[in-house]
Amino acid sequence: MVSQSEGFFNPKNLMVLKRNACLFYGRPKFRLLLLIVPILLMVIAGGRSVFYGISITALPKSVPYYWLIQLIMPLLIMGESSRRLFRHDIILSPRVSLNHYLLDNLLIVGSFSLLIWISYGLASFIFLNHALFWSYFGLHLLFINSIYSLLAVLFKPTMVILVGLILSVFNVFSGDISFLNLTMIARFSVPDVWVGLFELCLILGGLLVLVRWAFNRIDYTL
């Protein structure tokens, strides 16, 4: 069982953070080439077109594939990195706490999200005309990637991504999920930003509690 009593930022924990970051980034290093796909779409189609989402003039509504690709690509790049970090590479030591591993995961995924956000921004230059939307989109990336990283610890990453795809497509037609609506310029609304962030905070907080509860029940052979 992992101890949960030590502080986060002692030298040993910082060494573990460095190790975990190397393991996390080492696995998807070739999949990072997949970033070329959404970046090329942004260059060819124009950043605003990619992030616009649905067309309000198209009847019936069609799935905005460019939007869907840029939304799901970070999850495909991350793959099983967090799952393996918790299930195979975790250091079961009294000096390394579960809290530290959870914080490590959030910090590393945060740095990954920042990389994606900057890459998308430089490819599309969307931040020049849609600064508020782009600020929300950066927070959305941080939350969604963190949520995915925790879900992938509990469930197969492919299943998590598939469910995410289904929810995203469903929301194109229903518009019921605020935090997804806000990733489309066509549905972006300033008053809804706090609603979307609140939803994401609830999901992430619930998953942190769930992972802590399920940690000692995980089958580490999977």
Q: What is the pLDDT of residues 57-75, one digit of tens each?
A: 655 577 888 899 889 999 9
Of the pLDDT bands very low, low, confident and very high (cuts 50, 70, 90), residue 96 is low
pLDDT over 90 at 133, yes or no: yes
pLDDT reading at 2 higher than 60? no
Evaluate whether 175 touches 43 at the Cβ level (below 8 Å).
no
Residue 211: per-residue pLDDT: 87
Q: How many CB atoms lie within 10 A of CB 106?
A: 17
The mean-pLDDT minimum among 17-31, 42-56, 85-99, 105-119 falls in 85-99
Alpha carbon distance 193, 181 (integer Å): 10
Q: Residue 5 above 70 pLDDT?
A: no
Average pLDDT over residues 217-221: 61
Q: Cα dist. 58→43, 51, 174 in Å?
A: 23, 16, 15
pLDDT in tens, 12-43: 777 888 888 888 888 777 777 777 878 887 77
Position 89 scores a pLDDT of 77
Q: Is 125 exposed, middle or buried (0-12, 13-18, 19+ CB in 10 A)?
A: middle
**pLDDT given for residue 135 in this prediction:** 93
Residue 177 pLDDT more than 70? yes
Q: Tell me, what's the pLDDT at 203?
A: 95
Least confident of 85-89, 167-171, 185-189: 85-89
pTM of the model: 0.87
pLDDT above 90 as % of the chain? 39
pLDDT at 3: 44
Average pLDDT, the chain: 83
Lowest pLDDT segment from 128-132, 164-168, 218-222: 218-222
In this prediction, residue 162 has a pLDDT band, given cuts at 50, 70 and 90, of: very high
Q: What is the mean pLDDT of residues 156-168?
A: 94
**Residues 193, 139, 35, CA angle at the centre, nearest 5°?**
130
